[in-house]
């Protein structure tokens, strides 16, 4: 009797394991077909394990095993704070010289576009007024895309006197550096880590609270006057910043590095 029950349990366990193996391979095949059909594009965040478990009517363990199969094939990667993401080359930007995002994307063989979200002439906030030394500004908020996928939300403030002649169409088609009728002297850029707000996550098509890189840039003319203030929010899983550090004594800390208060 005990032998019969033992055989029954072994057969039942084997059947369950075989079903699970069949299930996760079928799920992996289904997702692979959707990837090949370009339902999911490079860099895009996939549905969560919970959503996929509901869709395929299986446990999250089975879904995770299917995703691990695709990871081993190099099709997807797991990113902290995002979940599972379509594998793609990260967007690399060099901080060695002053330039535009579009120039960096073109150098990487990517097609970049701007989509204007907000375009307003308005009263400057206290912080913006202090940086740009003016009361009225042009504020432009846009989404930058690489090969059709959003990767940055950029907000730019420009003194009214410099931006009053600009139109929404012009700033959508060209960089401010090209539109301002003054020579640019240089810029200071500060980069930190943050989490995506509800608004930015919707524009970047990533989960709210996901890791982002938050950059602030102050651009100056040749006389040292601030002429642009810009905030850049990059999806962290898609962005790399590269800085060339020349030899500068015995310190191991990058030049300009400081602790945040």
Predicted confidence band of residue 93 (pLDDT cuts 50, 70, 90): low
CATH of domain 91-242: 3.40.1410.10
Q: Are 170 and 221 in contact (CB under 8 A)?
A: no
Residues of the chain with CATH 3.40.1410.10: 91-242
Q: Which pLDDT tens digit goes with each residue over 32-86?
A: 888 877 777 666 778 888 888 888 888 888 888 888 888 877 787 787 767 887 7
Average pLDDT, the chain: 80
Q: Tell me: pLDDT of 98 over 70.
A: no
In the structure encoding, which two tokens stand for residue 49, read together? 């394990």
Exposure pattern of 107-137 as b/e (b: 16+ CB <10 Å)?
eeebebbbeeeebeeeebeeebbebbebeeb
Which of 219, 86, 93 lies closest to 144 in space, CA to CA?
93
Residues of the chain with CATH 1.10.10.10: 2-86
This prediction has a pTM of: 0.72
- Domain 2-86, CATH among 3.40.50.300, 3.40.50.2000, 1.10.10.10, 3.30.300.30: 1.10.10.10
Predicted confidence band of residue 177 (pLDDT cuts 50, 70, 90): confident
Q: How many CB atoms lie within 10 A of CB 170?
A: 13
Which three-class secondary structure state does DSSP give residue 208?
coil
Predicted confidence band of residue 95 (pLDDT cuts 50, 70, 90): low
Supply the pLDDT for residue 252: 52
Which three-class secondary structure state does DSSP give residue 63?
helix
Mean pLDDT for the stretch of residues 110-135: 92
Bigger pLDDT: 249 vs 2: 249
C-alpha–C-alpha distance, residues 232 and 187, integer Å: 14
Rg of the chain taking only CA atoms, in angstroms: 25
Q: What is the DSSP string of 215-249?
A: EEEEEEETTS-EEEEEEEEEEGGGEEEE------S
Bigger pLDDT: 161 vs 236: 161
Q: What is the DSSP string of 131-158?
A: HHT-SEEEEEEEEEEETTEEEEEEEEEE
Supply the pLDDT for residue 16: 45
Mean pLDDT for the stretch of residues 179-205: 88
């Amino acid at each position: 009797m005990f032998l019969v029950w033992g055989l029954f349990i072994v057969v039942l366990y084997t059947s369950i394991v075989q079903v699970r193996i069949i299930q996760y391979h079928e799920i992996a095949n289904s997702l692979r077909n959707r990837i090949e059909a370009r339902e999911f594009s490079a860099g895009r965040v996939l549905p969560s394990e919970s959503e996929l478990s509901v869709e395929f009517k299986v446990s999250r363990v089975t879904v995770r095993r299917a995703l691990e199969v695709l990871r081993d094939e190099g099709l997807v990667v797991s990113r902290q704070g995002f979940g599972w993401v379509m594998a793609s080359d990260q967007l690399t930007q060099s901080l060695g010289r002053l330039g535009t995002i579009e120039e960096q994307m073109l150098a990487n063989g990517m097609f970049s576009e701007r989509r204007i979200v907000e375009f307003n002439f308005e009263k400057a906030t206290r912080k913006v007024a202090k940086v740009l030394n003016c009361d009225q500004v042009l504020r432009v908020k846009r989404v930058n895309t690489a090969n059709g996928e959003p990767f940055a939300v950029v907000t730019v403030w420009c003194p009214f006197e410099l931006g009053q002649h600009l139109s929404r169409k012009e700033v959508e088609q060209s960089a401010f550096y090209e539109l301002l009728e003054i020579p640019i002297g240089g810029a200071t850029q500060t980069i930190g880590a943050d989490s995506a707000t509800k608004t930015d996550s919707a524009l970047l098509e990533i989960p709210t609270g996901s890791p982002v890189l938050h950059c602030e840039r102050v651009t100056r003319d040749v006389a040292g006057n601030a002429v642009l203030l810009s905030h850049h929010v990059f999806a962290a899983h898609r962005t790399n910043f590269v800085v060339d550090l020349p030899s500068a004594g015995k310190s191991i800390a990058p030049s300009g590095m400081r602790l945040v208060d």
